[in-house]
């Protein structure tokens, strides 16, 4: 039986609106989805499709209104499994007066990592993401791309079994994108799981093995990338992921 890294079982997330909450807005509508361990899994969808809400519930940053969520085989309320998760946020909120070394040590301490582990790990990661020569500078001097590289290093600090990347290519140059691809492929080769939340379809087409598409809070498609491409009708000019996704978005929006 295949191990599951993350599972959503009839999950609903409703945000109250108006006086006394009212009926509320459903950001996630009865989602059932299993993400196998050891895969590169892409989570796609238009803006306001529910992707971020789904990830927040997986990370216990918000609670589902209904349904059951498991993370690495345990209910998400078991926060001990968070020590086995790495998360790279789209918009980093690192203290700007700290250096890259200090940022990684700070977050490593919050994660319960030992000082002995961090001594070697911080140096290795800064070298890996190309920031070793800027390691002692205040990060307020960093560009968006450099902050993205630092965010990737922070997400990898605990050598996570489950790595969640939220729009990781934002602000990255060609070298940074290649670094990201290499990291993702290394995680896969090591049997780790990567959840890639992105609008960068080239990365999905090149890296992802499976994907789910959310539209209006519901799963509009779940399967392999090549199946999505092959399952849709082809025009004379061929088929690409953007065209196939547009079809899924349109069908999902009309339901």
CATH code for residues 4-254:
3.40.50.300
On the 0-12 / 13-18 / 19+ scale of CB atoms within 10 A, 232 is: middle
**105, 182 contact by CB (below 8 A):** no
**121, 113 contact by CB (below 8 A):** yes
- Which run of H or of E encompasses 109? helix 100-110
Nearest-5° Cα angle at 210, 207 to 212 = 120
Phi-psi region of 32 (alpha: psi -120 to 50; beta: other; left: phi over 0): beta
**158, 81 contact by CB (below 8 A):** no
Q: Where are the domains of the chain?
A: 4-254
Local confidence pLDDT in tens for the 255 residues of the chain: 679 999 999 999 998 876 665 667 899 999 999 999 999 999 999 998 999 999 999 999 999 999 999 999 999 999 899 999 999 988 888 999 999 999 999 999 888 888 888 888 999 999 999 999 999 999 999 999 999 999 999 999 999 999 999 999 988 999 999 999 999 999 999 999 999 999 888 889 889 999 999 999 999 999 998 888 776 544 434 457 888 888 888 887 777
Beta strands 218-224 and 210-215: pairing type? antiparallel
CA distance 168 to 159: 17
Retrieve residue 39's tokens. 């895969």
DSSP code of 200?
Answer: -
Residue 122: phi and psi, rounded to 5, are: -60, -45
The 3-state DSSP class for residue 205 equals helix
| Residue 235 neighbours by CB distance under 10 Å | 8
Global pTM value:
0.92
């Amino acid at each position: 039986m295949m191990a599951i890294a993350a599972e959503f079982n009839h999950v609903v997330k409703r945000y109250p609106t108006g006086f006394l909450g009212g009926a509320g807005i459903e950001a996630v509508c009865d989602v059932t989805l299993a993400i196998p361990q050891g895969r590169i899994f892409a989570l796609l969808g238009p803006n306001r499709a529910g992707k971020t809400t789904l990830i927040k519930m997986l990370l216990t940053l918000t609670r589902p209104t209904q349904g059951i969520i498991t993370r690495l085989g345990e209910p998400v309320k078991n926060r001990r499994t968070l020590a086995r998760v790495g998360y790279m946020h789209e918009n980093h909120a690192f203290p700007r007066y700290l250096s890259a070394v200090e940022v990684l040590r700070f977050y490593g301490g919050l994660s319960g990592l030992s000082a002995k582990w961090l001594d070697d790990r911080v140096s290795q990661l800064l070298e890996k993401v190309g920031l070793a020569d800027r390691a002692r500078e205040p990060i307020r001097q960093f560009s968006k791309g450099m902050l993205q590289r630092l965010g990737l290093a922070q997400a990898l600090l605990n050598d996570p079994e489950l790595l969640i990347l939220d729009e990781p290519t934002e602000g990255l140059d060609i070298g940074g994108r290649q670094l990201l691809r290499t990291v993702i492929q290394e995680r896969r080769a090591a049997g780790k799981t990567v959840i890639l939340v992105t609008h960068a379809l080239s990365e999905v087409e090149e890296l992802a093995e499976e994907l789910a598409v959310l539209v209006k809070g519901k799963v509009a498609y779940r399967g392999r990338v090549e199946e999505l491409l092959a399952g849709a009708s082809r025009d004379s000019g061929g088929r690409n992921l953007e065209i196939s996704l547009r079809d899924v978005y349109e069908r999902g929006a009309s339901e």
